[in-house]
Amino acid sequence: MLWYWILAGPALALAVLSLRGERTRAAYVARRLSEVAADLPPASVIVPVKGADQGLRENLAALASLDYPDFELLIVARSAADIPAGVLPRRARVVLAHGEDPQTGEKVQNLAAAVRETRHESRIFAFADSDVRVTPRWLRALAAPLGEPGIGASTGYRWFAPEPAAFWSLARSVWDAVAFGVLGPGDNRFAWGGSMALRKETFYDACVLEYWKNAVSDDFMLSAAVHAAGLRIAFAPGALAPCFDQAGARGLFSWMRRQTTLTRVHDRPLWLAGLMAHALYCGGMGASLAASLAGSRLAVVALAAQLAPGMWKGWNRAAQAKAALPEQAAWFRRYAWAHVLLVPLVTWIWLMALAAAAFGKTIEWRGYRYKLKSPAPPRV
């Protein structure tokens, strides 16, 4: 049985260690959700559009209806042809970037163009993706941490809440929620581009536009700029935004590989740590399954001990997301079970996605193919 414990022992230890910080994170989420922002300076909300996302009209309408005292909404696209007819809310201002830089991602060019068109009085820049439907309190939640000392940016995240929820759509929800689960108190490793904000002065002092040059990923480079300036990224759970898109198996695995490839190129230590952890975890799970089928009762107990912490964390993530998104309470009543029961399977999917990212640096994104390059800090 020595071979078994060589595989199962590290996996068990990893499962137990993964529970560290869960109570602290839960308390942080509860505190952030209950706070009332006192300082709400004028803001510019920027959302790039590239074709017809599912529910695009409703998503943009939600951004135009934020519960915030003073904000402008800028919808930016490369050209007018990228904005479907009949989706623009009345209060939105359209910016056309006409970007032609082959070394820089289209989304990054669009965002840079929109920033330059923001009104003078805005003191906060907030960024959203067109495939999420933000809540009315979204911008307030992002603004709240920005007045705290040492905070350079705030970030929410997305929660896939497909309806109806077919298997692969639920699997994506469980898979993506893992990243939501690593955001918490203190400095966070990244800001997510579909729900992030920073003060205007921080944006320019940190030279974000310089970091965006020749970049494909807006959020990884913005995060690098904020950290290079010696500032922290705060998690704002109230800025969690639901996404109702459906997913099929082929599109899902292509999307997962793109996410993990971007991570490998921009944050190789994070990708490598994830790959090693999932390899150990899946190796232990496989060993316990094999030994259990061979009749080992001890392996059955070890398998349960390994799976329980991850499934419990999945339940915690769903409970915290439900607290942040009370409008989606019905969805959580129907589908929160998936964030418990699908966790073991999704662990293997994570391993596949992380391993697939080890090969090649080409990704497809919104109709374009990009050859990723490891970013070098700009001279500023």
pTM: 0.93
**Is-contact 85 166, C-beta < 8 A?**
no
Residues 57-85: pLDDT tens digits?
Answer: 999 999 999 999 999 999 999 999 999 99
| Residue type (1 letter), 269 | P
Closest of 305, 73, 92, 313 to residue 321, by C-alpha: 313
**8 Å CB contact between 208 and 108:** no
> Backbone dihedral region of 360: left (phi > 0), alpha (psi from -120 to 50 degrees) or beta?
left
Give the Cα-Cα-Cα angle 94, 95, 97 (nearest 5 degrees): 150
Write the CA distances from 324 to 135, 223, 241, integer angstroms.
Answer: 10, 23, 9
Distance CA 101, CA 112 (A): 12
| Structure confidence at residue 251 (pLDDT) | 86
β-strand partners of 76 = 48, 95
Rounded average pLDDT per 10-residue block, the chain, 380 residues: 83 91 96 91 97 92 97 97 94 93 92 97 98 97 96 98 93 97 96 97 97 94 97 98 92 92 93 95 94 91 94 97 97 97 96 92 73 63
DSSP structural state of residue 137? T
**Which pLDDT belongs to residue 221?**
96
Angle at which helices 249-266 and 268-293 cross, to 10°: 130
* pLDDT at residue 364 in the model: 76
Residue 267, helix vs strand vs coil:
coil
212 in Cβ contact with 221 (< 8 Å): yes
What is the C-alpha separation between 210 and 122, in angstroms, rounded? 21
* First-residue to last-residue Cα distance in the chain: 58
Handedness of CA 312, 316, 321, 326 (dihedral sign): positive
The set of residues, in sequence order, having a beta carbon less than 8 Å from that of 7 and lying 6+ positions away, is 283, 284, 286, 287
Confidence at residue 362, expressed as pLDDT on a 0 to 100 scale: 81
Supply the pLDDT for residue 212.
96
| Dist CA 154 CA 232 (whole Å) | 9
Distance separating alpha carbons of residues 250 and 259, to the nearest angstrom:
15
Q: For tokens 């030994």, what's the residue?
A: 291
DSSP secondary structure letters along 184-245: -SS--S---TTEEEEEHHHHHHTTHHHHHTT-S-HHHHHHHHHHHTT-EEEE-GGG-EEE--
